Every structure is written in C-alpha cells, then in structure tokens.
Chains A and B, each alone.
Chain A
C-alpha cells in the first residue's frame, strides 16, 4: 500500500514535468512595448502600427534609455502586431504599454476598429493613456527625449499625476474613452501630443473632441485649460483675466461645478462654477483693493470666456461635458427625450454663473 502510494506520487510528479505552463516566459525573454501608435496606412483601409520597445539596461541615467521603434503596415492591427513579432527577437509584452496614440489622419477617418482591438486584448491595460498624435504617431514616437531615464518614461509622466501636472494637458484613460464612445449623451476627448519645436520633448497642451465617429474639434491651449477647469475640475490651474492692458492671474485651489438644464423646447443650460484661489499676479493697488469689486470683475470676464468655449463646443456638434447625459438623467422620456435633445442641442443656450472667491489676496507688503 505504501509503495503504491509512493509510486502514484512519483507518477504524478513525472507527469508534472511534462506540463510546461502555457504562459511561462521569463522577463528577460520579453520585449516590453512602452508606447503604441496607430496610424492610417498608405493604402486605403490599412493601418500602420508603430511600437516603441524598451531595451532594458541595469543602470538608469537621464537620456540613457534605449528604445527600439518598429513599424509595419497591414490591413488590420492584429496582423501588423503579429508581423512585428517577426522583426524582433523576444516575445512582445503589452503589459506595460501605458500610452496609445492615434494619428490625426486616422482620427479623421474614425477609430472604431482600433478601439475594438484594444478592448479585446487582455494584456492591454485599460488604464493606458490615450492621445492623438499630430501629425502622425510614428513621427511623435520617433522622438527620444533627453530627460528620459527609462524607456517610455517621458510620455508616462506627461500624463497622469505622477510627474508633471499641467493644467494645459488633459488626461484620458482607455477605459474612460471606451465608455464615452458607447455612452449616450457624452462624447470623448483626447489630448493632442506633438513634438516640441526643438524636438527634445513632447508637447501636450491641446485637446481634441470627437463625436461617436471621428474628430470634430481641436481647441487651442487657453481653451484647453478652460476645458480642464470647467469639465475636469482641475484645480492646479489659473484663471487669467485681462485688465487695463495687464493680466490678473488667479491660481485656483478648488473648483466646483453644477449644471442645471431647463426642460423647454430649446433647453437652457445654466452652468454654475465656483472657483476658490489666490491672486498670483495683479497690478499694484488693483481696483483699490475692493475684493467684491475684483471678484465681480473677474466673474464677468470668466463668464464670457467660458460661454464662448461652450458655444464653440456646441457648434462643433460634440458634447464632452456630458450635458446630453445630464438632460436624460434629469427628465424622464427615454428615446423621445433623446431625439428632442439631439434636435435642440445645436441651438441650446448657455448661461455661465461663476462665483470666484479670492481666498488669499496675495498681498506681499
């Protein structure tokens, strides 16, 4: 009995040796993709996929990060990724692919197919950052920033709140974008990634808006910051107001917004925003130091700025703020309401009611 047990155990053990795990691949036999770019191919309905692969070194120094760029064109993304595998010596691993860029021309055509591929692959993390590359992602990914300590570092840090936190860069995750693409009454946005003029760093200071199909509108940097404040409640930013030839700058510390949408033929949207902050730049003896006066002045100016932005977004036919979703959530009626909203959206009216609180006047002497 005892021997039989031992024999059985030995048999099981020998069977174990025959089993080699399907996913067993050591870390040094893997090629980490740190960034992925998807562009429109040269022929119609083809894609050009660019992968930035990390070459790890044991020592980490600024500017020493080594990467390899592989790019190939194929009718589908899946095929081009498979094809790239034949160009490299190790197994591709998308586990650390934190940045995915779409070329501008691809965005103009529509990004439905790439999104499907990205959502289906289990090894692409849904927390990856998305961006739109201008003019195309190959051009952007080719850049080797001087400050990069380890491969892909510079792009990771530009997004998210780990490295730099700029009010001009918006951050969009893959999961959020996939939701926005399928959500009724809420549209997606993507940061625009370009090369800096001197070609040693990336430049992420604009935002692009899409409807459910393709690219509709690109904002400039100031508008991007305004969008970041109003839509994302981004509080590490500033509100700049022109005043008699100079500019008054309020550094924000807290932003709160609230939206009211009236239920009428042409819905009216009242956008309440409350911004608290301190004066970072102001002319000496500004309005005689009358806080009420200053706040009022800033409020009117800010209302105008924001209303302009909202109308611009409305006229492009996109809804990144999610007003449509808010409307549907507020009023009962399902598809009828939605049709009504769709018809009325191009002519809705915006009222911005801002409340600016200067918590600290920034008095230095």
Chain B
C-alpha cells in the first residue's frame, strides 16, 4: 500500500508514512498529521501499542464505524486528503476517520442580525451546519443528499429538502444543473449560486443566501431546497421570490402590526433608494412644478451656487457614497470608523459649503444610503444599490416620465425572472405550496 501512495504523493513531504510493529502485528500506516486530529491516538495508536490485544484489535477494526474496509486502491489518495488514516494489516486496507474539525462552536449572526430571534448562525463546517438544521427541523423526512464539487477543491455539498413538501420539478432541475457545475476551486456559496443560475447576467439574485438556520428551517417547511456547502457559512435556498429577500426573520417574531409596519417601511425605503436620485434630477431639471412652491424656492436658492447641472451633482455625490460604502466594507475594523467620519461628516458638509452640491442633494444622498441598508439580504441590497443608476441615466434624458416608464420596465423585468422555474414576482403562492401559516411574505 505504501508504495502506491508514495507514487501518488511524490512531493508531499507532510504525509506521514510508517510501518509499525508491536511484536505481534505489522501495520502500515499513512496519514496527513495536519489534516487529522488527536483521535488517532486513542482510536488507533493506543490499542495498537501498549494496550494491545490481538482479538480486541481485530474486533475493533470490524465493529467500530470509524473503521472502513477500503479495497479500491484508487480512492486511497482521496481518503487521505479528506483527513482519513489509512492502515494495512495482513494485506487488508482500512481507513480510520480522524479528520480535524476547526469549528466546534456555533457562530453568531453577522450579516442578518436579528433583534430577538435566534442569534446562532451557520459556521464554515458542514457537519455542524447540518446539525443546526436538524435541531430546528426535527423530522425524519428531511432528506440530505451529498455532492462533491470542484475539481481541485473537492468541496462537499449537501442538498437538504423535505421529501414530502418538495417540488419534484424543481428538484429535478437542480440535480440537472448540479451536473453542469464546472468549477476548479469552489470556495464560497456565491460561486455555486452563479453556477446554478441559468443566465449569468442578472440584475437581481434568484437564489437566496442566508446564514440563519431558522430561516432555513422556515424555508424547508415551505418545501424549498437548501444547499449547504463546506467552507461557507451561507446556505443557499431555492426557489425564492423577491419577497423572500425583503423578509427579515424578525417579521415572524414581532407582533402583527409592528411587523406589518416594518415590512411596509422596508418596501418604501427600497423604492426610495432606487428612484430618489432619479426623481431629484427629473424634478430639479424638468418638472420643478411638482414640488410645493416653498421647497422649489429653497432648492433654487441652495442650488444657486452649484456650477454643474443636476446630474453631475448627483454623480459626484453617488460616487462619494459608493466609495465610502465600499471602503467601510474592505477596511480593517479599527480604521473603519475613521473612513465614516471623514467621508460622512467632512466631505458631505464641505462639498455643500464649497458649492459643489446643494444641501438638498446631501439629504437625498443620505436617504439613499440609509434606505439601502434597510434591505435585510446583502445580495438584494447590492442589486438595489445598482438599480438606481439606470434610473438616473433615464431621468437625465427623459425626466419624470422617463422615471415612470423605467419603473414600469423594472416591474416587467422582475416579472420575467424565474427562480428554478418558479415566478420571481409571484405575489401569492397557492396554499398547497405554502402551508406553514407563515403569511404571504
């Protein structure tokens, strides 16, 4: 066995290969110490060395589920890379599962915070993630199907679904799509999302990524399919609708009127962040009669010193805010607050005092930026962030009527989208598909 392994791993100097002899039995042993944990000591080395009993040792090899007979020599390399110990005793090859798990504690939510809901989030370890789901969805019909994707990374993927509630067509479509996944290094769930989406250029996400096990449980209950991936703390949910992206888990936990209020506010914020810069241009440059007369005069007065047309003003401010957002994501945490202070306070105030932009534009920019972060899902938030630019360009050319037509066009586009064959903008799904009593969002 060792010869063959040696051939396959010619330059892997961290591979440990040894032949052990305790006087009764000879054992050939190969494993990566960096990939295996301490269990190897109690599980294999101690019974083999000073506690050795030939009968007990044989019994252990055959009865312990961690030991598997491995006859196919072509799988050995793969087993070693997955953190198994290979041993050969009396010409029979066994594997001992001893892979090191780095994450042993449940994570806390970081991008989908909740006020009073569960605070636990998925981790980068797939086994822990599955247990998180199983704890919440405690039913025997929860099916888990393993996959292995990435020709170089060999990332393990698990597809979870409730076999009674799941839509068979969607499942078939997913498995077909899974066949076509062709990635070398699969490292983030976003890559898988891209591969699973049928058209590559999409303005809106059609698969939901979430780090919350409670959301996954709710989605499973609604017959959706969940994909968990090793090394990613985000689960992928499909098929989804636009309203799933706008749904925060707190909406389910808050009292009825509060959650309704929050939902309405959220949709208003999204429409504001999408159309407000465009509406500013359209109203200031084409139809100032839409304002009340006081506001028209105030804007007129504050814009008096601005040298550029309104759309240049909008682009200056939008560029500044986008750069600021991007910087605060990428910057290390301890410099992050500096960026916000410099960007938000100094630039905003100074730009207005220098006469580069009007004071109303500062308000517009801040409303746009704040409203953008109201979206509970980061993917969707990014899409919304991008959507305002087509509106701005249209408003530049066609004014307020252009904005109205563009909004209509956006609705049409959303209607045309499909998430694994399911309509993206379906307001009401039939009762039999959605019987969790969860409300329409």
Contacts and interface: CB of A to CB of B under 8 A. Distances in A.
A12 B299 CA distance: 33
Interface string A23-63: 11111101010100000000000000000001011111000
A56 B284 CA distance: 14
Contacts of A24: 285-286, 309, 396, 399
Contacts of A131: none
Contacts of A30: 288, 300
B301 interface: yes
Given A16-B397, A56-B298, A56-B304, A27 B293 contact: no
A21 B398 contact: yes
Given A27-B303, A96-B288, A21 B399 contact: yes
The 5 A-B pairs with the shortest beta carbon distances in the complex, nearest first, are A95-B289, A58-B301, A56-B300, A56-B301, A56-B297
Contacts of B300: 27-28, 30, 32, 54, 56
B397 A151 contact: no
A123 interface: yes
Nearest to A25: B285
Contacts of B294: 60, 150
Contact of A21 (B289, B296, B304, B397): B397
Contacts, number: 80
Interface in B164-216: none
Given A27-B300, A96-B293, 12 more contacts: A21-B285, A26-B285, A27-B296, A32-B288, A54-B297, A56-B301, A57-B301, A58-B301, A58-B302, A59-B301, A60-B294, A96-B288
A11 interface: no
Nearest to B309: A26
A259 interface: no
By size class, the interface of chain A is 20 to 34
B419 interface: no
A125 B306 contact: no
Contacts of B287: 95
Nearest to B286: A23
Contact of A23 (B302, B306, B399): B399
A27 B298 contact: no
B286 A28 contact: no
7 contacts: A23-B286, A24-B285, A28-B303, A32-B297, A56-B296, A60-B298, A95-B288
Given A16-B397, A24-B309, A58-B298, A98 B293 contact: yes
A27 B285 contact: yes
A65 to B, nearest CB: 9
B288 A28 contact: no
